[in-house]
Amino acid sequence: MPTYDLEVNGLRGFNAALHELAGTTPNEPWELVNPKGSHAIAVGLDAPIDVTVAGSTGYYCGGMNKQATIRVAGSVGPGVAENMMSGTVIVEGDASQYAGATGHGGLLVIKGNASSRCGISMKGIDIVVHGNIGHMSAFMGQAGTLVVCGDAGDALGDSLYEARLFVRGSVKSLGADCIEKEMRPEHLELLADLLARAESDARPEEFRRYGSARKLYNFNIDNAY
Amino acid sequence: MCGIVGLFLKDKALEPRIGDLLTGMLVTMTDRGPDSAGIAVYRDGVPGQAKLTVQVDDPDAIYPTLAAQLGTMIDAEVTLEPNNTHALLRVPVEKTSEARAALRDLVPGVRIMSDGASIEIYKEVGLPEDVAKRFEIGEMSGTHGIGHTRMATESAVTTEGAHPFSTGADQCLVHNGSLSNHNALRRKLRRDGVRIESENDTEVGAAYLTWKMQNGASLGEALESALDDLDGFYTFVVGTKDGFGVLRDPIACKPAVMAETDQFVAFGSEYRALVNLPGIDTARVWEPEPATVYFWTH
C-alpha cells in the first residue's frame, strides 16, 4: 500500500499522484499520513481507489470526488466532499460547516457531528450524519437524501426543493417551506439501505421525514414585499 | 478573511513557551491574513505598576528621552524598554490616565496600544512571521495570549487598523468578520465617553465590551449582550487580565476550532493552527457553537 507523508512530500504531489490514476482501475489502496489540517486533500479524484487519511484535514477534503472511497480517520474542516459526483467519503470524526455542499451524487458519511449548513444546495448526494447537524442544513436542497441520526439545528430545509430529509432526534426549527411529511414504506426502504451503507445501527422506524411544502416554487405575488 | 489564534494556559510549566507556541500558530494563519499581524500577551504584572505599550514612527529619536520626559510631566518614576517600533512604559498604576494624556502632548502621533497590569500588545503591517520576529514574540513568556493575522476589508492597512484592539485596562479583542452597525454604535459609545481611536469596526466591538464591563458586566455577560447589540459577521476572541473568551455570531460563517487539554485552552481559525500544540492528538477538539459564549478564567 503506497503511504504518502504530506509533511515530507507536500500536498500537490499527493493530489497529482492520485490524478494520474484517473480512468484506471487501481488495485492498491493509498494512505496519507500527517495531514495536519491541510486543505484540499484528495480533491478531484476520478478512479475507483481507496484512500485513507490518517488524521484531521482542513477545507474541502474529498471535493469533487468521482468514484473514489475516501476515509478520514479524524475530523474535517469546512466543505468536505463539496460538489461530490459519485463515490464515498467517510469521516470518522466531526465535520465543520457546509459538509457535502452542492453534491451531485455519491455517499457522504459523518460519524460524529456536522456543523451548520450541512448539505446546503445538495443536488443528488446522499449524506448520513451519525450525530447532530447545525443550523440552515439542506438549505435550498434540490435532490438527494440527508439522514440525521441525532438532532437538527435551526431552520432545517429552508427553501427546500426536492431533497429528502430524515431526522431521528429533535429538530430545533424548520425553515421556510419545509414541513414534516408522512413516512411511507418506500422511505423506510431507502433509509434501511442508506443506514446499512453508512455503518449505522439506527432503525428506520425511529426517523421522521421532512420535505418541501412546494409553496415557494413559483412566483407568488403574495410573497412580494 | 482573517486568522485568529489564542492560547490560555492552565499549566504554569508551559508559560515560558507561550510566545513560541503563539508565534507558530500565528505564522500558520498567514494565508488568512498576510497584510498585518499582532499579538497580545499577558505577563509580568507588578503590583502597583501599570504597563503602557506604545508605538511611534521614529523610535530612535523618541525613545531615548521619553521615560525621563514623561516622568517629569507626571511626577513619577517611569521606565521604558524599547522593542523595535514599540516600547513598554511602566508607570505607577494611579498615574495611568495622566500618563496617557501626557504621552499625547509629548509625542504627537503616538499610538497607545494598551495599558494594564499585565497586557502588552505588539502589532504592525507586514507578514506575520516578520512581525513576530521584529518583536521577538517567540522569546516571551506569559499566562495567556491572542494573535491575529489581518486581511483588511473595513478600513485601511495601517498599524492602528491591525488587531488586537484594546479599549480598556488589560482588555483586548481580535475579530474575524465585519460589523455592519459600527458607525452608529461608535457615535453612541463616544457620546457616553468611551475612548475609540480609529474608524475600524473591530475597535467599536472592543469598546462596546469595555463599556459593558465598566458598567458592571462580567466578560461573559458583556459577550451575551453583544449578541443583541452587534450586527454583522464575527468570530471574536477576547482577553482580560485573567480571562479568555470566544463568541461567534448566530450565522457563524467565520470559522473557529477549539482544543482543550489539562494544560491549555486553544483557539484557531483553522485546525492547522493547533496541530503543533503539545498533546493535541489527545485534546478535546470542537467547533464552538454559534451565538454561544465561551470563557475561561484563571
Q: Do A116 and B274 touch (CB under 8 A)?
A: no
Contact residues on chain B for A58, CB-CB shorter than 8 A:
270-272
* Pick from B252, B270, B272: CB nearest A116: B252
Instruction: Check whether residue B52 and residue B37 sit in a common domain.
Output: no
Nearest-CA residue of chain B relative to A39?
Answer: B272
Overall number of domains in chain B: 2
Q: Do A97 and B252 touch (CB under 8 A)?
A: yes
Instruction: Mention every residue, 6+ apart, whose C-beta is less than 8 A from residue B234.
Output: B175, B176, B177, B178, B179, B205, B247, B248, B249, B254
Task: Check residue A216 and give its pLDDT.
Answer: 87
Distances (CA, A) of B138 to A36, B15, B59, B278: 22, 12, 22, 16
Cα(A211)–Cα(A174) distance, integer angstroms: 10
Q: Where are the alpha helices (DSSP H) in B75-218?
A: 96-106, 128-134, 182-191, 201-214
Helices B96-106 and B59-74 pack at an angle, to 10 degrees, of: 130
Residue of B271, B274, B276 to mutate, interface with A, max A Cβ within 10 Å: B271
Cα(A122)–Cα(B237) distance, integer angstroms: 33
pLDDT band with cut points at 50, 70 and 90 for residue A27: confident
* CB of A187 closer than 8 Å to CB of A210: no
Task: Check residue B206 and give its pLDDT.
Answer: 94
Q: Do A97 and B271 touch (CB under 8 A)?
A: no
Q: Do A38 and B253 touch (CB under 8 A)?
A: no
Per-residue pLDDT of chain B (298 residues; tens, 9 = 90+): 899 999 999 999 999 999 999 999 999 999 999 999 999 999 999 999 999 999 999 999 999 999 999 999 999 999 999 999 999 999 999 999 999 999 999 999 999 999 999 999 999 999 999 999 999 999 999 999 999 999 988 788 999 889 999 999 999 999 999 999 999 999 999 999 998 988 899 999 999 999 999 999 998 899 999 999 999 999 999 999 999 999 999 999 999 999 999 999 999 999 999 999 999 999 999 999 999 999 999 8
Residue the block writes with cell 495599558: B115
* Pick from B270, B286, B289: CB nearest A77: B270
pLDDT > 90? residue A19? yes
Cα(A115)–Cα(A136) distance, integer angstroms: 9
Say what the ipTM of the complex is: 0.92
Residue of A38, A53, A94, A116 to mutate, interface with B, max B Cβ within 10 Å: A116
Q: Does a structural domain hold residue B122?
A: no
What is chain A's length? Answer: 225
Q: Do A134 and B271 touch (CB under 8 A)?
A: no
Instruction: Check whether residue B288 and residue B200 sit in a common domain.
Output: yes
Instruction: Check whether residue B281 and residue B185 sit in a common domain.
Output: yes
CATH number at residue B82: 3.30.70.100
Cα(A165)–Cα(A127) distance, integer angstroms: 10
Q: Is A156 helix (H, G, I), strand (E, B) or coil?
A: strand
B253 touches chain A (CB under 8 A): yes
Q: Do B253 and A58 touch (CB under 8 A)?
A: no
* CB of B285 closer than 8 Å to CB of B257: yes
Range of the domain at B68: 45-117
Could you list the active site residues of B?
2
Nearest-CA residue of chain A relative to B271?
Answer: A37
Instruction: Check whether residue B20 and residue B76 sit in a common domain.
Output: no
Instruction: Check whether residue B211 and residue B82 sit in a common domain.
Output: no
Between A223 and A71, residue with greater pLDDT? A71
Domain boundary among B68, B93, B117: B117
C-alpha cell at B256: 473557529
Give, as one character, the DSSP assignment of residue B285. Answer: E
CATH number at residue B166: 3.60.20.10
* CB of B117 closer than 8 Å to CB of B45: yes
What dotted CATH number matches A3-214? 2.160.20.60
* CB of B266 closer than 8 Å to CB of B277: yes
* CB of B43 closer than 8 Å to CB of B53: no
Task: Check residue B195 and give its pLDDT.
Answer: 87
Tell me the helix, strand and coil percentages in chain A, rounded to 5: 15, 25, 60
C-alpha cell at B114: 494598551
Q: Does a structural domain hold residue B10?
A: yes
Mean pLDDT of chain A: 96
Long-range (24+ apart) CB contacts under 8 A made by B205-213 are B205/B165, B205/B173, B205/B175, B205/B179, B205/B230, B205/B234, B205/B236, B206/B165, B206/B166, B206/B167, B206/B171, B206/B172, B206/B173, B207/B167, B209/B167, B209/B171, B209/B173, B209/B238, B210/B167, B210/B168, B210/B171, B213/B168, B213/B171, B213/B240
pLDDT > 70? residue A69? yes
A 10 A CB-CB count for A11 gives 17
Domain boundary among B90, B117, B144: B117
Long-range (24+ apart) CB contacts under 8 A made by A144-151 are A144/A103, A144/A105, A144/A119, A145/A190, A145/A194, A146/A118, A146/A119, A146/A122, A147/A191, A147/A194, A147/A195, A147/A198, A147/A207, A149/A200, A149/A202, A150/A113
Helices B201-214 and B219-229 pack at an angle, to 10 degrees, of: 130
Domain boundary among B89, B117, B145: B117
* CB of A62 closer than 8 Å to CB of A70: yes
Task: Check residue B68 and give its pLDDT.
Answer: 97
pLDDT band with cut points at 50, 70 and 90 for residue A219: low
pLDDT > 90? residue A59? yes
* CB of B223 closer than 8 Å to CB of B209: yes
Contact residues on chain A for B273, CB-CB shorter than 8 A:
37
pLDDT band with cut points at 50, 70 and 90 for residue A224: low
Domain spans in chain A, listed from the N-terminal domain onward: 3-214
* CB of A37 closer than 8 Å to CB of B272: yes
pLDDT > 70? residue A36? yes
What is chain B's length? Answer: 298
Task: Check residue B221 and give its pLDDT.
Answer: 93
Instruction: Check whether residue B147 and residue B66 sit in a common domain.
Output: no
Instruction: Check whether residue B143 and residue B244 sit in a common domain.
Output: yes
Cα(B69)–Cα(B81) distance, integer angstroms: 15
Instruction: Check whether residue B141 and residue B226 sit in a common domain.
Output: yes
Task: Check residue A111 and give its pLDDT.
Answer: 98
C-alpha cell at B106: 509629548
pLDDT > 70? residue A12? yes
Cα–chain-centroid distance for residue B176? 13
Task: Check residue B154 and give its pLDDT.
Answer: 75
C-alpha cell at B132: 513576530
